[in-house]
Amino acid sequence: MNGIPLTRYQITRLVYYLKVMALAFVAIIVLGNIIVALVKNRITVAPGSYELKDGFPLFTSASEYVSLVKRYHKDFGVQVKIHKIRSGESLWMIAHQYNISIDTIIAANPYLSSLSIEGITELVVPLEEGVLLPVNNLIDVWRMKWRLSHKGPVRGAYWHTPFELLALDEIRFAFYPGSRPVLVNGRIDALFEIKRKFQAPVFGYFTSMFGMRQDSHYGGMAFHNGIDIAGRMGDPIRPVREGMVSFEGWKDGYGNTIIIQHEEGYVSMYGHLSKIFVKKGDLVYKETIIGHLGTTGRSTGPHLHFAMSRHGEFINPLLFIW
């Protein structure tokens, strides 16, 4: 059955109404943009408070960045807290307090120039693991999603509506849950280059740091050549990097111990193990389970004593796994 043909008059009227609708739509957009431009509290940043790296804004001013976060009235995509730093606190203590990684804190505070927070009074802390990123536009959001190989959704109100064309914000925030930063400022990038080659040997929290400390067995101050990572009995231990086992067995004070030789002169040590699954001369890889966490030797509870050295000199392991 053929449809009823439109008359010339009907076509003329249809075109007329379509033109009216188009003009009305344009008028609404224009009027809406004018109203929003007059009433909107735009998000702005001070000139020179950030630098561009690969086209992404990385803040260099701590005060301007924290001020921006405090007055930001859009959705970050994650709950954010401003943490006031207390005397004696470290990044590791703050990360443990909020159950997030130091990578998450570094991504959320792009002005950090080292792992020291001396002289800094406040930190931006996302209450979920991931990358909180200031962005200039929607293109930044999708470029970073590709660089992070992020598979899930990107959260946050990082887009502008059609009514904000005359009042664009200078900065918006996007959050990539579960991701780790791949872009940091040049002052801390050298540390990241080292860290990308290594992994944490076990999941846990740091109970004793590298350096001088109170000896729990003999009293007095003593040098602690590594860090202690508390965990559960039997937790799998993996090497921080591929290498060759140079020692396995009992070591005074450390109990069941494994020592692994790595490239570039690095050596890693794993003490207090409950079980050892490798032998001297074995090649091991990042996915290899070399032993189980325990409390053998001089130990007050289940934990891994982890130490790093290079050419015979002990190095703070937190430079490698933080």
Q: Is the pLDDT of residue 256 over 80?
A: yes
Q: Is the pLDDT of residue 149 over 80?
A: yes
CB 113 within 8 A of CB 187: yes
Nearest to 170 by CA among 41, 271, 9: 41
pLDDT of residue 114: 85
How are beta strands 227-230 and 205-208 bridged, if at all? antiparallel
Model confidence pLDDT, tens digit, residues 259-298: 999 999 999 999 999 999 999 999 999 999 999 999 999 9
pLDDT of residue 216: 59
pLDDT of residue 119: 85
pLDDT of residue 238: 97
Handedness of CA 270, 273, 278, 281 (dihedral sign): positive
Among 169-173, 184-188, 257-261, the range with the most confident prediction by mean pLDDT is 257-261
Identity of residue 112: L
Identity of residue 57: P
pLDDT of residue 288: 98
Count Cα atoms within 13 angstroms, Cβ side, for 142. Answer: 4
The average confidence (pLDDT) of the chain is 90
pLDDT of residue 116: 81
pLDDT of residue 133: 96
Q: Is the pLDDT of residue 247 over 90?
A: yes
The residue-averaged pLDDT of 1-15 equals 76
Per-residue tokens: 47: 């000139």
Model confidence pLDDT, tens digit, residues 10-60: 888 888 888 888 888 888 888 877 886 787 788 889 888 999 999 999 999
Identity of residue 281: G
Model confidence pLDDT, tens digit, residues 90-136: 888 898 889 898 899 999 999 998 888 888 999 999 999 999 999 99
Nearest to 182 by CA among 147, 217, 222, 226: 147
In 3-state terms, what secondary structure has residue 281? coil
Whether the model pTM is above 0.75:
no
pLDDT of residue 217: 59
Judged by average pLDDT, the poorest of 65-74, 174-183, 193-202 is: 193-202
The residue-averaged pLDDT of 198-224 equals 78
In 3-state terms, what secondary structure has residue 31? helix
pLDDT of residue 3: 61
pLDDT of residue 215: 65
Q: Is the pLDDT of residue 237 over 70?
A: yes
Given pLDDT bands bounded at 50, 70 and 90, which one contains residue 191? confident
